[in-house]
């Protein structure tokens, strides 16, 4: 083995061990496969066993830093700045080591970059706006980061300090470009947030017929935490599950107005769209349509009303308050 590579791996091992010197047990749950430790840029490829990492485990010398990681396989859960997110294979995530955080790591393999926090100030002035957010690696706009990690971690121990020092200056700007391209941070709703909402709505629509559809099922289906789903729709007029009920009512309304389906009973149509309780369905239908399902169907068959072509209802303010029909 090249002497320089062996030295770099040794320095990397010493650096990462020193990082968690306040909690030596972490050394038993994480194996460094390869790495590099220069003056400002440090890299590590880790194979983790399940454990929890918080700021309490870190040496004070390393608290003014950030970790930028990509999940190669397995799962993790990150919490910081009041946010929670689940990380799955391919996801990138930034953690601010100077602030309180919690990282629940499962059995997984991770590539991690350690940088001084000061290096990010120019490119990313508000680290708090982008930390602890899972950045889906399959997005085309995150290609900058994918290529960066592929090249950096192809042979991390083979880096030289002059090259590593230049990369340390470039990495924050590459990260900022990826974050900007998906719209994280800022006052307006980000494109990343919109992307997650589209994922959630698509999954929910594909499973409207399942009476077991719930927050936990949707969260598992799209790879996000339940708490993140609540936060994701906190700026909407309808909670996620009330929106699901509205989508179901709309589809029932269409079928009840379709003369080709007059042979199907109201109960059959309601059950087909995930309503297990006919009393609840009747109340939901009346609150939205303004009449009972039976009366609506009779009027539709007489040509007095027609099915409304509603597909992506996001707001509607005439639903009952939480705690009545729609208790979550």
Q: What is the CATH number of the domain that holds 278?
A: 1.10.10.60
Q: Are residues 40 and 181 in the same domain?
A: yes
Instruction: Compute the distance between CA of residue 184 and CA of residue 190 in angstroms, rounded to an integer.
Output: 5
Q: How many helices (H) and strands (E) does the chain have?
A: 11, 9
Q: Are residues 201 and 170 in the same domain?
A: no
Q: Of the ranges 25-34, 86-95, 150-159, which one carries the lowest mean pLDDT score?
A: 25-34
Q: Is residue 150 one of the residues assigned to a domain?
A: yes
pLDDT tier for residue 188 given thresholds of 50, 70 and 90: very low
Q: Are residues 32 and 163 in the same domain?
A: yes
pLDDT tier for residue 309 given thresholds of 50, 70 and 90: very low
pLDDT at 250: 92
pLDDT tier for residue 223 given thresholds of 50, 70 and 90: confident
Give tens-digit pLDDT for 114-130: 999 999 988 888 888 88
| Residue in 116, 85, 112, 84 with CA at minimum distance from that of residue 98 | 116
Q: Is residue 308 one of the residues assigned to a domain?
A: no
pLDDT tier for residue 22 given thresholds of 50, 70 and 90: confident
Measured N-to-C along each axis, helices 191-206 and 161-182 cross at an angle, to the nearest 10 degrees, of 60
Q: Please, what sign has the CA dihedral across residues 217, 218, 224, 228?
A: negative
Q: Please, is 172 exposed, middle or buried when counting C-beta atoms within 10 Å of its C-beta (0-12, 13-18, 19+)?
A: buried
Q: What percentage of the chain reaches a pLDDT higher than 70?
A: 88
Q: Are residues 139 and 12 in the same domain?
A: yes
Q: Are residues 74 and 207 in the same domain?
A: no
pLDDT at 271: 95
Higher pLDDT, 309 or 219: 219
Secondary structure letter of residue 49 according to DSSP: P
φ, ψ dihedrals at 305, nearest 5°: -135, 160
What domain range is 44 assigned to?
3-188
Q: Is residue 313 one of the residues assigned to a domain?
A: no
Higher pLDDT, 76 or 186: 76
Instruction: Compute the distance between CA of residue 69 and CA of residue 105 in angstroms, rounded to an integer.
Output: 12
Q: Is residue 319 one of the residues assigned to a domain?
A: no
């Amino acid at each position: 083995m090249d002497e320089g590579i062996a030295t770099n791996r040794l320095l990397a091992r010493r650096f990462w061990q020193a990082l968690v010197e306040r909690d030596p047990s972490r050394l038993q749950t994480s194996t460094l496969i390869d790495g590099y430790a220069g003056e400002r840029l440090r890299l590590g490829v880790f194979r983790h066993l399940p454990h929890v990492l918080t700021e309490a485990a870190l040496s004070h010398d390393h608290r003014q830093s950030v970790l930028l990681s990509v999940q190669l396989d397995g799962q993790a859960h990150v919490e910081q700045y009041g946010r929670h997110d689940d990380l799955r294979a391919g996801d990138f995530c930034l953690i601010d080591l100077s602030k309180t955080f919690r990282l629940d790591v499962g059995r997984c393999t991770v590539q991690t970059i350690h940088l001084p926090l000061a290096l990010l100030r120019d490119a990313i002035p508000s680290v708090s706006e982008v930390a602890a957010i899972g950045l889906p690696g399959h997005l085309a706009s995150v290609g900058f980061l994918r290529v960066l990690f592929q090249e950096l971690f192809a042979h991390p121990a083979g880096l030289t300090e002059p090259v590593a020092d230049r990369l340390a200056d470039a990495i924050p700007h590459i990260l900022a470009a990826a974050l900007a391209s998906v719209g994280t941070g800022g006052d307006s709703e980000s494109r990343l947030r919109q992307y997650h909402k589209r994922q959630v709505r698509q999954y929910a629509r594909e499973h409207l017929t399942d009476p077991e559809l719930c927050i936990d099922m949707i969260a598992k289906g799209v790879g996000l935490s339940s708490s993140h789903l609540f936060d994701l729709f906190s700026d909407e007029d309808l909670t996620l599950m009330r929106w699901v009920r509205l989508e179901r009512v709309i589809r029932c309304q269409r079928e009840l107005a379709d003369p080709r389906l007059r042979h199907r009973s109201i109960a059959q149509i309601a059950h087909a769209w995930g309503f297990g309780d006919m009393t609840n369905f009747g109340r939901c239908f009346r609150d939205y349509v303004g009449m009972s399902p039976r009366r609506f169907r009779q009027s539709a068959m007489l040509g007095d009303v027609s099915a409304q072509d509603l597909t992506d209802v996001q707001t509607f303010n005439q639903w009952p308050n939480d705690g009545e029909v729609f208790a979550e």
